[in-house]
A = this chain, B = another copy of it.
Amino acid sequence: MGKDFTIGKLSSQTGVNIETIRYYEKEGILPAPPRTEGGHRLYSEEHLRRLTFVRRSRELGFSLNEIRTMLDMVDGGNLTCSEVKDVTVKHLENVRDKISDLQKLEKTLKAIASQCKGNKTPDCPIIDSLFS
């Protein structure tokens, strides 16, 4: 023992900012750690592992609710690989939908922008196309 660390260390180790860590605790995603006599939080390796999981998942675009679901499975010990895969695959579908939406958008915006000659007159095909 003796390798416990403060919230500042946990923050710099994981790249998750301090207020976010406290927020995760309030939301029940990170368990409340023990405290010093003065009330400062003291974290262990297990917290580090868990927060790393959360950060990675957030980077992959999982919502906190999705992450909660996965963590519940892990915590409950009733984790089955197929359940986790379900969450992941569903999320993958969302990502693909979002990509295709944005690609449609890109096409439309490109078309609109290309109509504009970029001159100085108040006559603007972009504005016109949005109003009608």
Residues of A within 8 A of B (CB): 49, 52-53, 56-57, 60-61, 70, 74, 77, 79-82, 84-85, 88-89, 91-92, 95-96, 98-99, 102-103, 105-106, 108-110, 112-113, 116-127, 130-132
Contacts and interface: CB of A to CB of B under 8 A. Distances in A.
Contacts of A77: 122
Given A52-B131, A56-B130, A131-B53, A113 B98 contact: no
A111 to B, nearest CB: 11
B81 A124 contact: yes
5 contacts: A49-B131, A77-B122, A81-B119, A92-B110, A95-B102
Contact of A108 (B60, B82, B109, B123): B60
